[in-house]
Chain A
Amino acid sequence: MTVFKTYCKVLTKCKWPILLYTVILIFFSAFNTQNNDTSTMFSATRPKIHIINLDENSDVSKHFITYLNDHSDIIDFDSEEAVSDALFYHKISCVITIPKNFGEDFYQGKDVHIDIKSTKDYQGSLIEMMLERYVKVATAYVSIFDDHHDLFQAIDQTLATEVETSIASSLDSDSLNKAALYFNFSNYCLVAGCVFVICMILTSFKSDHIRKRTIISSLNYKKYNRQLLLSNGVFTFVLWLFYIVLSILLVGNAMFTLHGLLYMLNSFVFAFCSLCLAFLIANLVKNKEAINGIVNVLALGSSFLCGAFVPMEMLPEGVLKAAHVLPSYWFIKNNETLKTLETLNTDTLQPIFINMLVIFAFSCLFIIISNIIAKKKRKIN
């Protein structure tokens, strides 16, 4: 118990970094669960655009704007600079300029063009498709319809033709997405938090003077090591539990489904792996300052390379291949797979469990290596 008590006392000195990582986690999750719709859920949202109409008097440009208004959100800004900024930061998908004489040229059958500044992303492409389609239909019809009213009606009618779309999936993909996002990001916090705190505490316990003092004390050294190990285990468990509670608060009821439980299990296995990694690093490095650097590089590195910050499918293939050597990769891969699993049975879950086994294998590897190192070091002393 003495060891555990001291452990807790040293732990309280580390409360700031833990708090920091947690705040970052909450902030990032909250921020991203609000903003992730841009890339993956795009049909649900209407693209946002800005229109500069230099041909205000023609009815065709008015009709054009009405059409755009039906399919997108038109946003106005105070200044030109604000428009440019909004476009750059993908707040709007494009800026459309209807040129002067647009109406005149249109009715005379001349070639018409619409100026567009686009973000070149999906939403931008969507808007471009909509524009192209309108102009194609309108220029085709203008040669046939004489009456403007009939023309617009025909255009509307044609453009309103839609295909019936059915969505086959019944998954609550929204909250599962959120959960996956949260747990992916928790990779950073688990690695950083766990490794940082454990290394800090272990270096304190293992610093030469204290170690000598412990060895000469009446406490059985093996028992002492076991207690230290147990304390670290308890700390990791509490940290994990804390992040799980947080996930329930942020993601909601979805965490109580089978999917949610699998997410928890997955992160538990990974938390254990972080613990082992922390042991390894604590055995390798003695300098407290160096640990700070190593933890940051390790946590940020694994998070970036394995897709904790940027969705996995957007990473270059080479990076993903290289990421296979990191346990984080398997952890995040599991999160991503879980998101899309519709039915959960032994067949579909098999890859999930295999990935967990891989993470576990990493943990064992870390333990073995750190034991070898620890033994070598003891001999030298």
Chain B
Amino acid sequence: MHNYRYTLKTLFKNRMMIFWTFAFPIILGTLFHLAFSNLEESEQLNTMPIAIVDNMEFQSNEALVSAFTAMSDETSEDPLFTIQYVDEEKAKALLKDEEIIGYVFVDASTHVMIKNNGVEQTVFKLICEEIIQSNEMINTMIEEKMAQVGNMHITDPTAMIEQIKQDVMERMQEETSYLNDTSSEHMSYVVIEFYTLIAMACLYGGMLGMFAVNCKLANMSHHGKRVAVSPTAKGKLIFTSVLAGYTAQLVGIALLFAFLVGVLHIDFGDNLPLITLLALVGSFAGLTIGIAIATLVKSNENMKAGIFIALTMLGCFLSGMMGVTMKYVVDTNLPFVNRINPAGLITDGFYALYYYETLDRYTMDMIALLLFSFVMIFISMFQLRRQRYDSI
């Protein structure tokens, strides 16, 4: 208890450590949030400025005129286009100055002029195509209908043609979709960034354990020598130190969670107990790495911290912190890498909770994490059992 209390006190007073394990993830999370909050929303379309060359051919094409009028209706909620009706010279000038993304030019056929390839340009082109295609549809249907009824007597051919036109136009503009959207609500891949962030925080937290243990090992620090000559059992000391490290770590993770959920409103799915469990196990894995480095690497504290940070960053990189695609690439091409990468496992666990409905994958991740932790502990124990050293 005595050692636990003081180790905790030491850890919380170490400003650098608190910065890296507590503040840094939160700062990074804020940055992620600021940078990514628009990423997925901006993938929805805004109103696009376009121009139409206002010539005879355009005016005589009823379908085009009515369709473009409908799509630029300013009274509607969000019109697709704002349209300037101009002559060709002006349209070219507008395009050059990037006032518009493209313009429509109608002669015998319909032309779309754009400056470069891009999302809005493609959508623009597709919509023009759709208008023309519905025109084509009307013609095809009239022709076929005429052919079918050709032999028969038609009371009112124009009425029939009008009827077909009406039908098609309605069909094209009707809102009802033929698609049955069963997409998961949990499709935001940006959350992966935040999951890797938690993974990072969990692992960074292990640094606390590392420093706590470091102070208790005679061959690692001067403090350790003092501790070693005292009559307190080594195992007990290490255990309470580790426990203190873990406590500090969990405080940090709890803060991070509170911040992510409370301030940034990151979606972690609904299963709170399992999320908590994953955070606990993840932190534990980080802790065991810390202990392993503390016992195995015989070097000064800065070197140890350096190795620790490098390892953690590599793990986070592989699990998608610097680009979510990375995780997928690694998962599909080198699956075993992210099976032994604790950052990957933690991230994947959160992902499984968020996206998958079953718990199979989550369970697998948890088992792998625990396995990893025990291997680390085993390695550390082997080193820790030594009571006397060859050199200090």
Give A contacts to B, CB under 8 Å. Answer: 20, 24, 28, 31-32, 35, 39-44, 81-82, 84-91, 97, 112-122, 125-126, 128-129, 131-133, 135-137, 139-141, 144-145, 154, 157-159, 161-169, 171, 173, 289-290, 293, 296-297, 300-301, 304-305, 307, 309-310, 313-316, 319, 340, 342
Q: Is the CB of B180 within 8 A of A89?
A: no
Q: List 12 A-B contacts (CB under 8 A).
A: A31-B323, A89-B328, A115-B179, A115-B180, A117-B182, A136-B178, A144-B145, A157-B136, A163-B132, A168-B114, A305-B31, A316-B37
- Tell me whether A167 and B117 are in contact in the complex, defined as CB-CB below 8 angstroms, given that A118-B181, A158-B137 are known contacts: yes
Contact (Cβ within 8 A) B144 A31: no
Q: A28-B323, A159-B133, A315-B38 given; name 17 further pairs at CB < 8 Å.
A: A39-B43, A39-B119, A40-B118, A42-B122, A88-B351, A97-B182, A115-B180, A115-B182, A116-B180, A118-B181, A122-B123, A129-B126, A157-B136, A166-B113, A167-B115, A310-B35, A315-B34
Assess the A43–B122 pair: CB atoms within 8 A: yes
B93 to chain A, nearest CB (A): 11
A161 pairs with B179, CB closer than 8 A: no
Q: In the complex, which residues of chain B have a beta carbon less than 8 angstroms from the beta carbon of A113?
A: 178-180
Q: Which of B111-132 contact A (CB under 8 A)?
A: 111-119, 121-123, 125-126, 128-130, 132
Given contacts A88-B189, A169-B115, contact A114 B40 (CB under 8 A): no
User: Which residues of B are found within 8 Å of A116, using beta-carbon distances?
Assistant: 179-183
A-B CB proximity, top 5 nearest: A89-B328, A135-B178, A304-B31, A43-B122, A113-B180
Interface flags for B37-67 (1: CB within 8 Å of A; 0: not) read: 1111011010000000000000000000000
How far, in whole Å, are A148 and B40 apart by their CA atoms in the complex?
Answer: 42
Q: Check B110 for interface membership: any CB of A closer than 8 A.
A: yes
CB <8 Å contact, A171 and B116: yes
State how many angstroms separate the Cβ of A92 from the closest Cβ of chain B.
Answer: 11
Closest partner residue, chain B, to A173 (CB atom): B116
Q: Chain B residues near A166 (CB, 8 Å)?
A: 111-114
Contact A164 B179 (CB under 8 A): no
Q: Cβ of B35 and Cβ of A289 under 8 Å apart? A: no
B window 91-106: CB within 8 A of A = 92, 95-96, 98
Tell me the smallest distance from the CB of A323 to a CB of chain B, in Å: 9
Residue of A nearest to B28 (CB): A300
When distances are taken between beta carbons in the complex, the residues of chain A under 8 Å from B361 are 81
- Kindly state whether residue B109 has any CB partner on chain A within 8 Å: yes
Q: Which residue of B lies closest to A82 (CB)?
A: B332
Count of chain B residues with a beta carbon within 8 Å of a chain A beta carbon: 78
Q: B325 on the interface (CB 8 Å rule)? A: yes
Tell me, in angstroms, the Cα distance from A131 to B351 when the chains sit together.
30
Task: Check A164/B328 contact, CB under 8 A, given A113-B178, A126-B126.
Answer: no
When C-beta atoms are compared, the residue in chain B nearest to A296 turns out to be B24
CA–CA, A112 to B179, complex, Å? 9
Residue of A with least CB distance to B144 = A144
| CB pair A165 B114 closer than 8 Å | yes
Contacts of A304 in B (CB 8 A): 31-32, 34-35
Establish whether residues B331 and A85, one from each chain, have CB atoms under 8 Å apart when the complex forms. Answer: yes
Q: Mark B155-175, 1 if CB is under 8 A from A, else 0.
A: 000000000000110011000
Interface residue? B177 (CB, 8 A): yes
Q: Which residues of A contact B182 (CB under 8 A)?
A: 97, 115-117
Contacts of B187 in A (CB 8 A): 87-88, 119-120
By the criterion CB–CB under 8 Å, are B117 and A161 in contact?
no
Q: B179 near A128 (CB under 8 angstroms)?
A: yes
Residue of A whose beta carbon sits closest to that of B145? A144
The 8 Å CB contact of B140, one of A158, A293, A315, is: A158
**Residue numbers in B under 8 Å from A314 (CB-CB):** 38-39, 42
CB distance from A170 to the nearest CB of B (A): 10
Given contacts A84-B355, A159-B133, A161-B133, contact A35 B112 (CB under 8 A): no
The answer, yes or no, to whether B184 is at the interface (CB within 8 Å) is: yes
Chain B's closest residue to A310 (CB) is: B35
**CB < 8 Å: which of A84, A133, A309 contacts B130?**
A133
In the complex, which residues of chain A have a beta carbon less than 8 angstroms from the beta carbon of B119? 39-40, 42, 122
Contact B115 A121, beta carbon cutoff 8 Å: no
Q: Are A41 and B128 in contact (CB under 8 A)?
A: no
Any A CB within 8 A of the CB of B327? yes
Asked whether B27 is an interface residue with its Cβ less than 8 Å from the other chain, the reply is: yes
**Selected contact of A121 from candidates B20, B43, B323, CB within 8 Å:** B43
Taking CB atoms, residues of chain A closer than 8 Å to B123 are: 122, 125-126
Chain B contacts of A313 at CB under 8 A? 42
- Assess the A43–B116 pair: CB atoms within 8 A: no
A309 contact set on B, CB distance < 8 A: 35
Please measure, in the bound complex, the distance between the C-alpha atom of A346 and the C-alpha atom of B156, giving whole angstroms.
67
Cβ-closest chain A residue relative to B357? A84
The verdict on B322 contacting chain A, using a C-beta distance below 8 Å, is yes
CA distance in complex: A255, B19 (Å): 41
Query: Hey, which chain A residues are within 8 Å of B6, CB to CB?
Result: none
**Shortest CB distance B121–A (Å):** 7
Asked whether A168 and B177 contact (CB < 8 A) given A304-B35, A315-B38, the answer is: no
- The smallest C-beta distance from B343 to any residue of chain A, in angstroms, reads 16
Binary contact readout B307-345 vs A (1 if CB under 8 angstroms, 0 otherwise): 000100000000000111111100110000000000000
Q: A154 contacts which chain B residues (CB < 8 A)?
A: 140, 144
Q: How far is the CB of B308 from chain A (nearest CB, A)?
A: 13
| Interchain CA distance A167-B92 in the complex, whole Å | 12
Q: A163 to B327, Cβ gap below 8 A? A: no
Known contacts A157-B140, A163-B112, A163-B128: does B133 contact A133 (CB below 8 Å)?
Answer: yes
Residue A44 contacts which of B32, B95, B117, B332 (CB distance < 8 angstroms)? B117
B129 in contact with A161 (CB, 8 Å): yes
Chain B: minimal CB distance from A126 (Å): 7
For residue B356, CB closer than 8 A to chain A, the reply is yes
Whether B251 is near chain A, meaning CB under 8 Å from some CB there, is no
Residues in chain A near residue B172, CB distance under 8 A: 136
Contacting residues, chain B, for A293 (C-beta < 8 A): 16, 19-20, 24
CA distance A137 to B121 in the complex (A): 24
* CB atoms of A141 and B38 under 8 A apart: no
Contacts of A129 in B (CB 8 A): 126, 130
Supposing A132-B179, A301-B31, A319-B35 touch, asked if A140 and B141 sit within 8 A by C-beta, the answer is yes
Q: A89-B328, A304-B32 are in contact. Are A140 and B137 (CB under 8 A)?
A: yes
B239 contacts partner chain A, Cβ-Cβ < 8 Å = no
Cβ–Cβ contact A315 & B35, under 8 A: yes
Q: Is the CB–CB distance between A164 and B109 below 8 Å? A: yes
Please, how many angstroms separate the alpha-carbon atoms of A296 and B121 in the complex? 39
- In the assembled complex, the Cα of A128 lies from the Cα of B95 at a distance in Å of 29
Q: A307 CA to B19 CA in the complex, in Å?
A: 25
The reply to whether B136 and A301 form a contact with Cβ atoms under 8 Å apart is no
Partner of A89, one of B28, B114, B183, B325: B325
Q: Which residues of A contact B378 (CB under 8 A)?
A: none
User: Closest residue of chain A to B130, judged by CB?
Assistant: A133
Across the interface, A164 reaches (CB within 8 A) one of B43, B112, B326, B327, namely B112
* C-alpha spacing A241/B114, complex, angstroms: 38
